[in-house]
Chains A and B, each alone.
Chain A
Amino acid sequence: MAPSSRITLAKGLNAGLRAAMEKDPKVVIMGEDVGKLGGVFRITDGLQKDFGEDRVIDSPLAESGILGTAVGLAMRGYRPVCEIQFDGFVYPAYDQIVSQVAKIHFRSQGKIKMPIVIRIPFGGGIGAVEHHSESPEAQFAHTPGLKVVACSNPVDGYHMIQQAIACDDPVVFLEPKRQYHADKAELDESATPEPLFTSRVVREGSDLTLLAYGPMVKTALASAEAAAGEGKSIEVIDLRTLSPLDMEPVLASVRKTGRAVVTHEAHVNLGMGSEVAARITEECFYHLEAPVLRVGGFDTPYPPSRIEEEWLPDLDRVLDAVDRSLAY
């Protein structure tokens, strides 16, 4: 690839994985269909051809097996990057992730590291059948020992996947699948990325702070643009890291705007927005002009795809919350 080019998120992740594998021979990719097929979303396209079957491993169709064997490979000094084919298929591996991957460093009093990356395409809006559109991030952010990040764009995808692989702690790496082959962005591979576990102001504003990550960043930016047409100045922050949360840019923003709305596709109840709202309230109580509002999926299972656009938070529902906050 040329040093500078316009790429999709799928290409950004692919290039990032390639760069990580070139840099460190201990990096191995494992998952279902990641080899010849290049993954169902083609994120690992061409990697098995170039790095061989020992480093890009087509696994049996067993998610617990993928994560469980990744633990053993990590103990042997490897850095496994596990692809979970769809968000709703991570649960068979849940025990290995929560009881083993997350706890082995702690259990061993720091003697064993678990540098495992668990890549999960997440979120909906692709017209899929059940189990293919979920947002399980809060379940992993609630698990001590894991770190959880979500990329929202091709440039972050390229850099963040490499940073996650270089991280000595296990990282759940969430990829907004609806963005894989959508918007392109200019990638300068030589640019120095920000640290992995940082959030970022992606649009400045003064009236309200709008917080999003993954697929909702695009919606948040569109909402801010629409609100600007009505004379409302909205600051948008891409949280990027969900565990740990990087609250300093958020708190600084809310101290300035006095209002905050958090949005994600995941269910609102006990979702990331609940934690973010609690922390804003604890740290910025006297700066707040309105309660922190949350906009997300309803507390139901993910719906049949014909009604998913109504179920998912969209520009109008975000703006509705913005209006309610500003009306306080």
Chain B
Amino acid sequence: MNKSMSDFGPDLGEVFGPSHADGGPELVQLLTPEGERIEHPEFSFDAGEGVDEGELIRGFYRDMVLTRRIDTEATALQRHGELGIWAQLLGQEAAQIGSGRALAKQDFVFPTYREHGVAYCRDIDPLRLLGLFRGVDQGGWDPNDGNFGLYTIVIGAQTLHAVGYAMGMQRDGIVGTGDPDRDGAVVAYFGDGASSQGDVNEAFIFAASYNAPVVFFCQNNQWAISEPIERQSRIPLYQRALGFGFPGVRVDGNDVLACYAVTQAALKRAHEGSGPTLVEAYTYRMGAHTTTDDPTRYRLSSDVEHWKLKDPIARVKVYLTRNGLVDQDFFDSLDDEAEKLGEHLREGCKALPEPNPLSVFDNVYVEQTPELAAQKAGFQAYLESFEMAGGH
């Protein structure tokens, strides 16, 4: 029974483990962990016409620093008892900012519950993200403002929603028109754990079958709570796309330039009507799964140390500094901005309005049923009976 993994073929540790923590030879990388720009035969970082490249990269750096601050503040708020739980993104800033900044305005995003950096790119006030984790709501933003869906907690369920939404875009005639301001696509975010779910595999099949304009953006952060990627897949995840009939790419998920370039290329295919792409952003969950998790029980600290050397923010800082693209004022003002953001979250979190118990009845249906209206009235009368009795 107890066959070792190697009995089934090549040692997966060689594909996935620390020895290949660079992601293997197929990895698309444009900025090394040491902050060096490198070329890739297929993908290149293109700031776009009339856009200053340095300005764009400075913007990425700012986005990543602020995203990390959101994560740090929220983690602290959980430790102080202000949030029930928080899903940390530490280490995944480049994957989220690179892909998030590649989106066109009309594109639509279906996130997991960890896409705080993408939410930030879609101009969702990070304070709105806290409501779910504080327990005051289950998604405090309007998905149609910023084209950013609600956090989905059932792993992978949103990938099918993304394909359906993309099928709607096809029917609305906004795919492959040739007008870059009009052509739409959808990005479905999910993780390595979700890749085992039936829904994700069905989403691949539907997207391929209908040639839907979807980018499947998988952040392979190596860990599904305590289960390593080896438990989810016998092959590099991006290679699965081939079996479904569309291209897959593995990108360095800690390289914001590569994530931007690869997502942009995948979106271009989708916009043009060439169908889905799977992007595997090869990254690492530096933090815990959530604030309730204890990763010291299942992984080596040496792994974490190894990945610290690939920090997505540090390499951009090195690049910007070494190339004279920033001065001290830039860092100082960014520090100030991060401080203000932290304060906004700390103050705002405590000020989030408590839901009224009676509100639970209100949005179960568009048209409330008489049964529910009666339950609400009964509960209201019950609550009021305590007030009349002098309060409990």
- Interface residue count on the A side (C-beta < 8 Å): 45
Interface locus among A103-111, A132-140, A204-212, A251-259: A103-111
Nearest-Cβ distance from residue A200 to partner chain B, whole angstroms: 16
Report yes or no: B369 in contact with A111, Cβ–Cβ below 8 A.
no
Report yes or no: A76 in contact with B367, Cβ–Cβ below 8 A.
no
Interface locus among A57-65, A176-184, A186-194, A213-221: A57-65
A65, A75, A78: which contacts B205 (Cβ < 8 A)? A65
Closest-by-CB residue of B relative to A105 is B363
Expressed in whole angstroms, the Cα–Cα distance for A73 and B171 within the complex equals 10
Q: Does B364 contact A (CB under 8 A)?
A: yes
A65, A92, A113, A144: which contacts B364 (Cβ < 8 A)? A144
Query: Would you give the 0/1 interface string for A92-127, flagging 1 where the beta carbon is closer than 8 Å to chain B?
Result: 100110011000111111111100000000000000
Query: Would you give the 0/1 interface string for A191-202, flagging 1 where the beta carbon is closer than 8 Å to chain B?
Result: 000000100000
Q: A68-B203, A75-B165 are in contact. Are A244 and B160 (CB under 8 A)?
A: no
Expressed in whole angstroms, the Cα–Cα distance for A259 and B160 within the complex equals 48
Report yes or no: A59 in contact with B363, Cβ–Cβ below 8 A.
no
B142, B150, B165, B364: which contacts A72 (Cβ < 8 A)? B165
Closest-by-CB residue of B relative to A246 is B370
Report yes or no: B371 in contact with A70, Cβ–Cβ below 8 A.
no
Q: Does A147 contact B (CB under 8 A)?
A: yes
Report yes or no: A62 in contact with B168, Cβ–Cβ below 8 A.
no
Closest-by-CB residue of B relative to A102 is B364
Q: Does A54 contact B (CB under 8 A)?
A: yes
* Residues of chain B contacted by A245 (CB below 8 angstroms): 371
Report yes or no: A69 in contact with B164, Cβ–Cβ below 8 A.
yes
Q: Does B172 contact A (CB under 8 A)?
A: yes
Closest-by-CB residue of A relative to B171 is A54
Expressed in whole angstroms, the Cα–Cα distance for A54 and B110 within the complex equals 23
Q: A71-B161, A72-B167 are in contact. Are A169 and B142 (CB under 8 A)?
A: no
Q: Which of A72, A243, A244 has the most CB of B within 10 A?
A: A72
Q: Does B209 contact A (CB under 8 A)?
A: yes
* Residues of chain A contacted by B164 (CB below 8 angstroms): 68-76, 80
* Residues of chain A contacted by B159 (CB below 8 angstroms): 68
Closest-by-CB residue of A relative to B166 is A72
Report yes or no: A167 in contact with B367, Cβ–Cβ below 8 A.
yes
Q: Does A304 contact B (CB under 8 A)?
A: no
Nearest-Cβ distance from residue B284 to partner chain A, whole angstroms: 29
* Residues of chain B contacted by A145 (CB below 8 angstroms): 364-365
Q: Which of B142, B149, B166, B369 has the most CB of A within 10 A?
A: B369
Expressed in whole angstroms, the Cα–Cα distance for A12 and B143 within the complex equals 38
Q: Which of B159, B162, B171, B371 has the most CB of A within 10 A?
A: B171
Q: A77-B168, A96-B157 are in contact. Are A147 and B138 (CB under 8 A)?
A: no
Nearest-Cβ distance from residue B173 to partner chain A, whole angstroms: 10
Report yes or no: B369 in contact with A106, Cβ–Cβ below 8 A.
no
- 4 nearest CB pairs, A to B: A72-B164, A68-B160, A76-B168, A69-B164
Residues on A facing B (Cβ under 8 Å): 28, 54, 59-60, 62, 64-65, 67-78, 80, 92, 95-96, 99-100, 104-113, 144-145, 147, 167-169, 197, 243-245
